[in-house]
Structure 1
């Protein structure tokens, strides 16, 4: 089976983990701090706070900003539900925006009409490793005095106009899930240049706890969202290979592009001039006449693991019912939900495997389209 994703774990990490286990210091050690410093330096932020998932990164960011019941948070309808779940978790109302089908990111032209006196935050999602159009988002945020939290879960190393994603908003949130560019098994990180927000998130991730005069003090009603030492060691080793990983992913995308670009049955990913795509996922869009799920089943029979792009939140029953979401407001998101296919992409893929996947997809599409 050609895997959809396959993490690149350097062999040296096994010795690192052995040393951590022998030390007995599994949390609150130097590895997490080293990992934070490495990420902050790489991405270009003053502070990095490692947590146990990308979801926790988003959740703590909203808590640190004081988002609560009665507030509204604007974000994309086409995203993994975690983006919206954290808004719901803090008691705020998610305000969903349809996407630009060419990029799968939120349509910035629709944001302004959704801003109200209750709007507290805009969460642009850099989906599949490609930056949202940040300039107009930041302009609107400044005009209406709302915060920006970047959901950069898929975009570790991606850039917007030469600047790294996760450094534009008040806070930038990344995921280190096994499907992401680098992985810590589970894990995430929050980046910010705001000292106060950084301090608040550090407190929130560790039970609201700090030390004063050598004694424990609980400052805030925090949570346990810490990253552990073994996870951090995994991340540190992969950080050293980050640019190689991104380079290989971009090369694989070029191989796919060359094989699929001429077909009228599938549309390859497009990348605006402002974006440097790092292809956390290689997601194509099928002709409307083709039944996507049939294609996925056919590819599986050929030994190829493929999947959907992601989810349309307005189609999730909980949100659909609670906020009486109307499907006609999310036509682009709906098409992306039903017609997107995520193809295998990871640094361990060979050119021959990519060629096989592309040829198999085209063959399946032709048969399905008949």
Structure 2
């Protein structure tokens, strides 16, 4: 089978022999859960992000859920967030019984537009939950200024952005806490897994308890003071995470190189909009490489491009569908005030291209050639 015959997946984890040996050592130790690998991984994460505490959990979703509960969200509370995100960022607000309040996105960064925060503010607003979409840092100076002015918590959804920086500071270290994720398409992976990072010792202690059924241990006894969860991560996962974290800068740099190939090879394609360069003072740790069809195309055109790419053995996805249009969200929230024309227009035309640190230049060239051919076929049909 030649390279041209092989399917190109949307993402692939970057696993080497050191990763495999790290997991094997954990297996041979017999300490598979609640052991030393969890603590070592947490220490490494805290050092890398620049926070005092890290709490490893079973997923990024678990991290967000624990934070919503730990920070005391209750029914009737409101959280300002983006409709252009993975569904978990909204689900976790709903898990706590609170209400997400959406604001539209910036058309360039695709992140929550801080200029619109004031329109969403009410006397029930308790928190802002910005999402660093695809690894691009949000405008944290404007967000933090607004939050400080109105005494609001900021919880960063940095699940796609480990390694990104804003104003020389690591994403995930701005708000009271942040959530990270380590699914196989992320910059580093533990298979499934996530983490909370924070400088608040009391919140860290509470999050550690909540991930383990809210168990407070005292001597040989265990007591449960509140409703908790089984959101523990295993030592097996953390052994892999420790190994991956040792080479995170290499992995992030490699992903940046792949993103650069895409930008180079697609620079002259007028039918698409490439991701904009990071703003001054920001560094992107690429999680996904998402392009948009130009304004003359619609959602149906985008879907046909996805079909053409699949026919060529190239997996692409539409990232993200807007959250406020999901049927269960409409049922849960009822009429949603406001309008989100930028998020809706962007979501109708996005194409996530195959992306990982293990992609070769030849694979990127094949993806770009197939995309150009798909666009030509689609454009000719519109004439």
**TM-score normalized with structure 1 length:** 0.97
8 Å Cα contact 1:123/1:148 also seen in 2: yes
2:282 is the alignment partner of 1:275: yes
TM superposition shift of 1:328: 7.2
SS at match of 1:122: strand
8 Å Cα contact 1:314/1:325 also seen in 2: no
SS at match of 1:106: coil
2:355 is the alignment partner of 1:349: no
- Partner of 1:93 in structure 2? 99
8 Å Cα contact 1:203/1:219 also seen in 2: no
Q: What are the equivalent positions in structure 2 for 1:1-370 lying under 5 Å apart?
A: 1-270=7-276, 271-290=278-297, 291-325=301-335, 329-370=339-380
Taking the aligned partners of 1:126 and 1:182, their CA distance within structure 2 comes to 16
Taking the aligned partners of 1:188 and 1:321, their CA distance within structure 2 comes to 29
Taking the aligned partners of 1:54 and 1:99, their CA distance within structure 2 comes to 22
8 Å Cα contact 1:261/1:267 also seen in 2: no
> Unaligned regions of 5+ residues in structure 1, if any?
none
> Unaligned regions of 5+ residues in structure 2, if any?
1-6
1:145-174 deviation line (CA, Å, top 9, x unaligned): 110000001001011111110000000111
Taking the aligned partners of 1:298 and 1:288, their CA distance within structure 2 comes to 20
8 Å Cα contact 1:10/1:237 also seen in 2: no
Comparing 65-74 and 99-108, the one that deviates more: 99-108
- Partner of 2:4 in structure 1? none
8 Å Cα contact 1:319/1:325 also seen in 2: no
Report the number of matched residues: 370
SS at match of 2:358: coil
Q: RMSD of the TM alignment (CA)?
A: 1.4
TM superposition shift of 1:282: 0.4
SS at match of 1:200: helix
SS at match of 2:127: strand
TM superposition shift of 1:24: 2.5
Comparing 323-332 and 355-364, the one that deviates more: 323-332
